[in-house]
Amino acid sequence: MIPNWLLQRAYLTPERTALVFNDQTWTFREMKDIVHELATKISGYSVSRQSRVAILVKNRQTTVFLIHALQSIGAEIVFLNSRLTASELSYQIKDSGSSVLLYDQDFYTTVKDLEYLSIDLNAYSIENIMTSSQKKLGNVRSDFDLDETCSIMYTSGTTGKPKGVRQTYGNHWWSATGSSLNLGLQENDAWLCAVPIFHISGLSILMRSVIYGIPVFLMEDFNEKQANLFLQSGKVTIMSVVTATLNRMLTDLQNEIYHENFRCMLLGGGPAPLPLLEKCAAKNIPVFQTYGMTETASQIVTLSPEDSFAKLGSAGKPLFPAQIKIVRTDGKAADARETGEIALKGPNITPGYLNQKHFLQDGWFLTGDLGYLDEDGFLYVQDRRSDLIISGGENVYPAEIEAVLIAHEAIDEAGVVGISDPTWGQVAYAFIVGKAFSEEELLQFCRERLASYKIPKRFIQVKELPRNAANKLVREKLRLLIEGIK
Amino acid sequence: MIPNWLLQRAYLTPERTALVFNDQTWTFREMKDIVHELATKISGYSVSRQSRVAILVKNRQTTVFLIHALQSIGAEIVFLNSRLTASELSYQIKDSGSSVLLYDQDFYTTVKDLEYLSIDLNAYSIENIMTSSQKKLGNVRSDFDLDETCSIMYTSGTTGKPKGVRQTYGNHWWSATGSSLNLGLQENDAWLCAVPIFHISGLSILMRSVIYGIPVFLMEDFNEKQANLFLQSGKVTIMSVVTATLNRMLTDLQNEIYHENFRCMLLGGGPAPLPLLEKCAAKNIPVFQTYGMTETASQIVTLSPEDSFAKLGSAGKPLFPAQIKIVRTDGKAADARETGEIALKGPNITPGYLNQKHFLQDGWFLTGDLGYLDEDGFLYVQDRRSDLIISGGENVYPAEIEAVLIAHEAIDEAGVVGISDPTWGQVAYAFIVGKAFSEEELLQFCRERLASYKIPKRFIQVKELPRNAANKLVREKLRLLIEGIK
């Protein structure tokens, strides 16, 4: 058991700034008061302890309040990616068994298409709830149980079928404290959140804010000009980015530099390319590369700036409470520089997916990613699990796209791979076997079924797909095909 | 489970400084190598997993190595206060069921008087073990179990009979991380340890060092000149003190000031007197007052410098993972400013004393101390449990001294109280009913049975002791008697 984080933070340091959004500022005390009122109102909407509540929200102050209110009630929060289509959303809401959907008014047109809840959805927008006169007394929890599920986020995994990852209060706690042991914690710290809150990268910033007692500077959408202004102001000391957003910031920054207070650019989504590191070094921008995923409640391995050139391409070393092991195909631990599956252990790792038992193997999470450790114990990630494509910080699973494509009447077979892209890090390319097709029609077909970031950038017709003896698609060889057509 | 702290730290940051002692320096990698060799040797001395090992040691580098070696083997460490007499030591060794005693050669004359171990004690001094050729392979643990007992320290409690407080790995972990959330953690941090390692104040510094990855500057004995030099050098950023040692440092410091890197004077053992706070404020010394005990694995409540004048006399607010409740005599929670027993809750609190069940009450540790919370939730400690006397940072229990005094043939009744003292914070005064006695003889009687810091500073003969209707000693009234004789 641990004290309710916001409650405890508002008790310990009530006058510290908790949140800055659109030039408005809230202290922890002010935030606690708003959250208590909101919790009281929400509990009038059939939300109670252990309710599962799906939320479809933007990066706004109301979302921060909503998350703390749901935690105070003790509801499990299902975070929906707002870029998903109605059919993708419906699947996750149904699969998670969410009893209620709370959403930002902006998403009303998306939400009204969901055949899911029989109630009048009008009442369930955050804006309506905040302004309602509902006053049913809610039970605000004084403690959190570290083993209890706090949040659920969907990830597609190897099968292409999205699975709900359970993140406990303990996962978030150990992630936050493990990170602070690595990055330190200073009195003037403030974290810029320009990544989506529905991602673990964004949610983890909100959790750290109350645990550390530091402000979050929240941006509704990423904007390189605004982000640069924050980093030049001296008000922000840490920011989470992916390669694509960092590139845009550097381009916008031109010959300027950041304020000396800025001490950590936390870069997720794969190792940084050398030119990017060189640009950052020239501007004295301390880049901490990280490896992590929804299942590890954000970063679990990090590379500090002083190692980034000597250990180029490495993801670094684990956070203090965590461990890495490389497992060979015969199940034994690999030697240094020997490739195998990356296995992780630590208290920040999910207890498992929804409706799934036996997640860990002897306490280890087998990531499906391939990599090795060098003789100093630095991790090198060689291939993401199931050919995971990371595009603009979003996970894209080839199997999921292939399943959609094959459903099209003109298509017999489909194979999808990620190709490196200067803007997005990676983008998806689709190889198709089947009748002649119009690209525009295929695009339209995909748009109805897939979030835009998942839609292949190119559709390439081939005679046959490379398969192995067991007739399994060999995605590695698809990349070779691309070399041919480039 | 959590990785073996020293092993993990030596893996993550091998080249950082771990320890500085008498101008010698060890990195975490060097310390790990020494500790592994030492663990191998110790395991040849009948020490293995879950052995209970008593240690009688000075503040030296070998003690730091020894503690990590015993942790790596998985032995439970019984820390003996080196100021205790042979009979006090014998009691604790026997009560704890320690199978082995390891000691610094300096204590040989003390140790040889202990009728306890049949083996040749000569071999069991740290110096002999370090230089032995013993090479039995020990099993160095890769993980610690947070629920496992790491250390045992004796405290006398209400009955006057010393009890062994079990401190788990989890207690130390949560204490260290809770403290870092409060004090922050900077890249240049270094902790000066001039308090005994056999106290939780000292041991907790060693645990923080490996968990945070920061150096400990270790002093064999407290010395105000040397301590001031460290704080003026800029090499030390945090130091743990008690009122008596801080006073001596300020006197020695005269008109000088500390280096700007020095950021935290962590003051234990009761609230600071106003003149001391004023002196520190004038010299820009940031004093963090703390409340804690062996049972809470060091500080659990702290007052930050910015509150020290507005909340004069307060012990502050709890660490983030901890909670305070004031319990009235009828068992209900007290209102603001209403006095009651101080109850504490948190993962840094001991699971209990040796050989004792049912320690916590509904998850709360009833300290026996009296106090209240003000309307902002700041704790004010009004009376330490069982009239605990804190003298130079050491706990002195009146009941223990009274029991010794009554054993003297000339004494019929004895009552002991703590009186404030400019040098030691508090000292013990003894009120005695009985035949005429020679003070010198009584002192000699005490010296054979009590550590020197427990020996009363004055023996005062009275006709009768103040007792209540139930014939129980009312120590409060003894203080009034002193007012009369001052």
At B294-349, the pLDDT tens digits run 999 999 999 998 898 899 889 999 999 999 999 998 889 999 999 899 999 999 99
Rounded to 5 degrees, φ, ψ at B123 are -75, -15
The edge-to-edge listing of strands for the beta sheet with A340-345 is A323-327, A340-345, A365-373, A379-383
CA A35 to chain centre: 24
Pick the CATH number of A172-387 from 3.40.50.10890, 3.30.450.40, 1.10.287.90, 3.40.50.12780: 3.40.50.12780
Mean pLDDT of A41-50: 87
Q: Give the per-residue pLDDT at B75.
A: 96
At B10-24, the pLDDT tens digits run 999 999 999 999 999
Contact assignment for B212 to A181 by CB distance below 8 Å:
yes
Question: Measured between CB atoms, which of B8, B184, B377 is closest to A320?
Answer: B8
Contact assignment for B181 to A180 by CB distance below 8 Å:
yes
Nearest CA in chain A to B316: A12
Q: Mean of the per-residue pLDDT values for chain A?
A: 90
Q: Is the pLDDT of residue A423 over 90?
A: no
Q: Measured between alpha carbons, how far is residue B376 from residues A140, B198, B365 in Å?
A: 20, 35, 22
Q: d(Cα A215, Cα A21) in Å, to the nearest integer?
A: 10
In degrees, rounded to 5, the angle at the alpha carbon of residue B327 between the alpha carbons of residues B323 and B329 is 165
B274 touches chain A (CB under 8 A): no
Strand B191-193, strand B238-242: pairing: parallel
Mutate to test the interface with B, among A1, A177, A302 (most CBs of B within 10 A): A177
Mean pLDDT of B134-163: 82
B333 touches chain A (CB under 8 A): no
Contact assignment for B184 to A184 by CB distance below 8 Å:
yes
Q: How far is A92 from chain B (nearest CA, A)?
A: 33
Q: d(Cα A458, Cα B329) in Å, to the nearest integer?
A: 76
Q: Which of B469, A157, B278, B467 is nearest to B478 (CA)?
A: B467
Mean pLDDT of A100-123: 78
Q: Which of A336, A346, A340, A345 is nearest to A326 (CA)?
A: A340
Question: Measured between CB atoms, which of A2, A11, A377 is closest to B321?
Answer: A2
Burial class (CB in 10 A: 0-12, 13-18, 19+), B86: middle
**A321 to chain B: which residues are within 8 Å by CB?**
2-3
Q: Give the per-residue pLDDT at B194.
A: 96
Does the CA dihedral A335-A341-A343-A348 come out positive or negative?
A: positive
Contact assignment for A377 to B11 by CB distance below 8 Å:
yes
Residue with tokens 């020990």: B138
Q: How far is A269 from chain B (nearest CA, A)?
A: 22
Q: Give the per-residue pLDDT at B464.
A: 87
Q: d(Cα A242, Cα A390) in Å, to the nearest integer?
A: 10
User: B287 near B311, Cβ under 8 Å?
Assistant: no
At B231-285, the pLDDT tens digits run 999 999 999 998 889 989 999 999 999 999 999 999 987 667 788 899 999 999 9
User: B418 near B396, Cβ under 8 Å?
Assistant: yes
**A181 to chain B: which residues are within 8 Å by CB?**
177, 180, 185, 211-213
Q: Is the pLDDT of residue A235 over 80?
A: yes
Q: How far is B214 from chain A (nearest CA, A)?
A: 11
A178 touches chain B (CB under 8 A): no
Contact assignment for B12 to A323 by CB distance below 8 Å:
no
Residue type, A19: L
**SS in 3 state form for chain A?**
CEECHHHHHHHHCCCCEEEEECCEEEEHHHHHHHHHHHHHHHCCCCCCCCCEEEEECCCCHHHHHHHHHHHHHCCEEEECCCCCCHHHHHHHHHHHCCCEEEECHHHHHHHCCCCCCCCCHHHHEHHHHHHCCCCCCCCCCCEECCCCEEEEEEECCCCCCCEEEEEEHHHHHHHHHHHHHHHCECCCCCEEECCCCCCHHHHHHHHHHHHHHCCEEECCCCCHHHHHHHHHHCCCCEEEEEHHHHHHHHHHHCCCCCCCCCCEEEEECCCCCHHHHHHHHHCCCCEEEEEEEHHHCEEEEEECHHHCCCCCCCCEEECCCCEEEEECCCCCECCCCCCEEEEEECCCCCCEECCCCCCCECCEEEEEEEEEECCCCCEEEEECHHHCEEECCEEECHHHHHHHHHCCCCEEEEEEEEEEECCCEEEEEEEEEECCCCHHHHHHHHHHHCCHHHCCCEEEECCCCCECCCCCECHHHHHHHHHHHC
Q: Which of B46, B49, B76, B30 is nearest to B139 (CA)?
A: B49
Q: Measured between alpha carbons, how far is residue A224 from residues A201, A249, A426, B22 in Å?
A: 18, 5, 20, 52
User: A254 near A278, Cβ under 8 Å?
Assistant: no
A3 touches chain B (CB under 8 A): yes
At A126-184, the pLDDT tens digits run 888 888 887 666 678 999 999 999 999 998 655 567 899 999 999 999 999 999 999 99
**B322 to chain A: which residues are within 8 Å by CB?**
3
Run of H or E including B302: strand B298-303
At B458-473, the pLDDT tens digits run 999 998 888 766 566 7
Q: Is the pLDDT of residue A116 over 70?
A: no
Strand A394-396, strand A411-421: pairing: unpaired
Mean pLDDT of A453-465: 91
| CATH architecture, domain A2-144 | 3-Layer(aba) Sandwich (3.40)
Residues near B255 by Cβ (< 8 Å), separated by ≥ 6? none
Same fold, A2-144 and A172-387: yes
Residues near A174 by Cβ (< 8 Å), separated by ≥ 6? A297, A321, A346, A347, A348
- 3-class DSSP state of B358: coil
User: A403 near A411, Cβ under 8 Å?
Assistant: no
**B9 to chain A: which residues are within 8 Å by CB?**
320
B321 touches chain A (CB under 8 A): yes
Q: d(Cα A214, Cα A173) in Å, to the nearest integer?
A: 15
**B347 to chain A: which residues are within 8 Å by CB?**
2
Confidence band, pLDDT 50/70/90 cuts, at residue B399: confident
Q: Give the per-residue pLDDT at B101.
A: 92
**B187 to chain A: which residues are within 8 Å by CB?**
184
Q: Give the per-residue pLDDT at B244.
A: 80
Nearest CA in chain B to A318: B12
Q: Which of B101, B91, B135, B34 is nearest to B450 (CA)?
A: B91
The token pair that represents B338 in the structure block: 């209403």
Pick the CATH number of A389-485 from 3.30.300.30, 3.40.309.10, 3.40.50.880, 3.50.50.60: 3.30.300.30
Q: Give the per-residue pLDDT at B282.
A: 93
Q: d(Cα A319, Cα B12) in Å, to the nearest integer?
A: 8
Q: What percent of chain B has pLDDT over 70?
A: 93
Q: Is the pLDDT of residue A119 over 70?
A: no
Q: Give the per-residue pLDDT at B213.
A: 97
Contact assignment for A181 to B363 by CB distance below 8 Å:
no
**B318 to chain A: which residues are within 8 Å by CB?**
12
Nearest CA in chain B to A307: B13
Domain map of chain A by residue range?
Answer: 2-144, 172-387, 389-485
Q: Measured between alpha carbons, how far is residue B444 from residues B78, B389, B428, B439, B448 in Å?
A: 29, 21, 16, 9, 7
Residue with tokens 């409540």: B301
Confidence band, pLDDT 50/70/90 cuts, at residue B426: confident
B15 touches chain A (CB under 8 A): no
Q: Give the per-residue pLDDT at B133.
A: 81
Q: Give the per-residue pLDDT at B292.
A: 94
Q: Which of A14-18, A290-294, A436-440, B103-107 has the lowest mean pLDDT?
A: A436-440
B186 touches chain A (CB under 8 A): yes
β-partners of residue A167 are A151
Interface of A with B in 367-396 (CB under 8 A): 377
- 3-class DSSP state of B171: helix
Q: Mean of the per-residue pLDDT values for chain B?
A: 90
Q: Is the pLDDT of residue A434 over 60?
A: yes
Q: How far is B347 from chain A (nearest CA, A)?
A: 8
β-partners of residue A239 are A192, A265
Mean pLDDT of A68-76: 96
Q: Give the per-residue pLDDT at A115.
A: 66
Confidence band, pLDDT 50/70/90 cuts, at residue B155: confident
Question: Measured between CB atoms, which of A1, A187, A322 is closest to B363?
Answer: A1
Run of H or E including B252: helix B243-253
User: A390 near A270, Cβ under 8 Å?
Assistant: yes
Q: How far is B437 from chain A (nearest CA, A)?
A: 54
Contact assignment for A317 to B213 by CB distance below 8 Å:
no
Contact assignment for B320 to A9 by CB distance below 8 Å:
yes
Q: Which of A13-27, A92-106, A374-388 has the lowest mean pLDDT?
A: A374-388
The token pair that represents B103 in the structure block: 């000691």
